[in-house]
Amino acid sequence: MSPNAVSTTAAAPLPVLGRDVTVPLVTGGEVTYAALDYAASAPALQRVWDDVAAYAPYYGSVHRGAGYLSQLSTDLFENSRRTVAEFLGCRPDDQVVFTRSTTDSLNLLAAVLPAGCEVFVFETEHHASLLPWRDARAGDAGISYLNAPRTPDEAVATLERALARRDSRRPALVCVTGASNVTGELWPVRELAAAAHAHGARIVLDAAQLAPHHRVDIAALDVDWVAFSGHKLYAPFGSGVLAGRADWLRDAEPYLAGGGASRTVARRADGGVDVEWHTTAARHEAGSPNVIGAYAIASACKALTEAGFDTLVEREQQLIDRVRSGLAEVPQVRVLSLFGDDAPRVGVLSFVVDGWNSSHFAAALSAEYGIGVRDGLFCAHPLVRTLLGTDPQDPGECGAPEAEPGERSLNAIRVSFGAGTPDEHVDRFVRAVRELVNDGARWNYRTEDGRCVPDRSGAPAA
């Protein structure tokens, strides 16, 4: 099929918004857009959109109103909390706190750490789980950044050695990803949790990339907390989740001070103010909550559960195999991996192409084939630099290449997909990679505001 032809969208397990959107090609004509950047933000499920649209006319204030719509919205919000708890397999005493995103969730946890808590985190983490601890209440205990392991067993052994050296009198927290946002590789979460608990530490799971693809069960994995984002779980309405043990959350000052977090507020005789804070999840949900965001996450949780993760995982593995086998046929392509080619992964793969600036390649995929991927360092700079074999001090901004088209830059290309991806999208991607490598781009490109874009003032490439 010509890249200029209008493609039909094959069936996907869960329909998403935008599945019929067409985009113009710089070479002429239009094509159905292939959204292959799920790792950044997944499109909204049609089911989620429909549920939100049905509720929207009934929107009202939560926890504060006596009117019917306020009561209905309060019930919807708290029922959404229960749905998320069921989705995550929460324990009876766990709390589910609604936040803005995974980043917000982990910053919340960092803000409630007990005094002197030492944090252990691998350098391979996304910045959302790598950076919040720097200014946390860890105080004089500090942070231990662990070197990138090259096998799951090495990850467990590295953590074991680090924990064995810590001061056991202090509290400790391990932060680990469930699936890499760069390579898609699954981490040995259950084994890392066992190692943490054996040394008296707690563990938080960054499930931003894992939850949309695999079942996440807090009790089965034996983790203390789980954090994830709605916008990666097919619910891009500005909400996230931190779920897990209540004690650290209950014992700390509220993440934000304000209405909703406070149970009672009273003036003192000396002119000051006394506050009694809630001990429930409301303690860290000050302000008017994002009811629609929470409901959207609950709707997505129901949709994924009803579709069946076993079915979704099996189908996604078929797509992964098609992409990997297709890329393996192009010698100039190198797929990035931390644990090796045989490591299990979700639908996230990053790669570089010999002779190509990654931004140039991604721009050509978009402009000439209607395929949306991501290029850059994916907010995981230390990991990508490790995988590319570059010096940690090499410059390079997240998503903003510093080289002209055709020149080397410290960036990679990432393709990611999920339950809303039709077969045709991954087939078109594989074909486009092969054609670009073998035949080159059909259009000229230039750097504009740090991005590689088609040069619309000139003629097609010779």
pLDDT digits (tens, 9 = 90+) for 273-332: 999 999 999 999 989 999 999 999 999 999 999 999 999 999 999 999 999 999 999 999
In angstroms, how far is CA 290 from the centroid of its own chain?
19
Q: Is the pLDDT of residue 88 over 50?
A: yes
Position 449 confidence tier, pLDDT thresholds 50, 70, 90: confident
Position 8 confidence tier, pLDDT thresholds 50, 70, 90: very low
Q: Residue 137: what pLDDT?
A: 53
Cα separation values, 355 from 331, 333, 409, 432, 437, Å: 12, 10, 11, 16, 9
Share of the chain above pLDDT 90, in %: 81
Q: Residue 398: what pLDDT?
A: 37
Mean predicted confidence (pLDDT) in 389-402: 50
Sign for the CA dihedral angle at 207, 84, 280, 57 comes to positive
Q: Is the pLDDT of residue 394 over 50?
A: no
Q: Is the pLDDT of residue 401 over 90?
A: no
Q: Which of 70-84, 130-144, 206-220 has the lowest mean pLDDT?
A: 130-144
Q: Residue 409: what pLDDT?
A: 61
Which one of the listed residues 90, 117, 379, 452 is annotated catalytic? 379
On average, the pLDDT of the chain sits at 91
Q: Can 379 be counted among the known catalytic residues?
A: yes
Q: Which of 392, 357, 390 is nearest to 376 (CA)?
A: 357
H helical segments located in 119-166? 127-130, 152-164
Q: Residue 11: what pLDDT?
A: 77
Q: Residue 397: what pLDDT?
A: 40
Indicate the pTM of the whole model: 0.92
Q: Residue 462: what pLDDT?
A: 60
The more confidently predicted of residues 278 and 394 is 278
Helix (H, G, I), strand (E, B) or coil at 167: coil
Q: Which of 132-136, 151-155, 208-212 has the lowest mean pLDDT?
A: 132-136
Query: Tens of pLDDT along 356-391?
Result: 989 999 999 999 999 999 999 899 989 998 999 865
H helical segments located in 243-379? 247-251, 291-307, 309-328, 358-369
Q: Which of 85-99, 121-135, 176-190, 284-298 has the lowest mean pLDDT?
A: 121-135
Report, in this order, helix, strand and coil percent for the chain, each rounded to 5: 35, 20, 45
DSSP for 256-285? S-STTTEEEEEE-TTS-EEEEE-SSGGGG-
298, 300, 306, 309: CA torsion to nearest 10: -120
Query: Tens of pLDDT along 89-118?
Result: 999 999 999 999 999 999 999 999 999 999
Pairing of the two strands 445-448 and 143-146: unpaired
Find the farthest-apart pair of alpha carbons in the chain and give their distance in angstroms, rounded: 82
Q: Is the pLDDT of residue 10 over 60?
A: no
Query: Tens of pLDDT along 212-267?
Result: 999 999 999 999 999 999 999 999 999 999 999 999 999 999 999 998 998 899 99
How many CA atoms does the CB half-sphere of 281 hold within 13 Å? 20
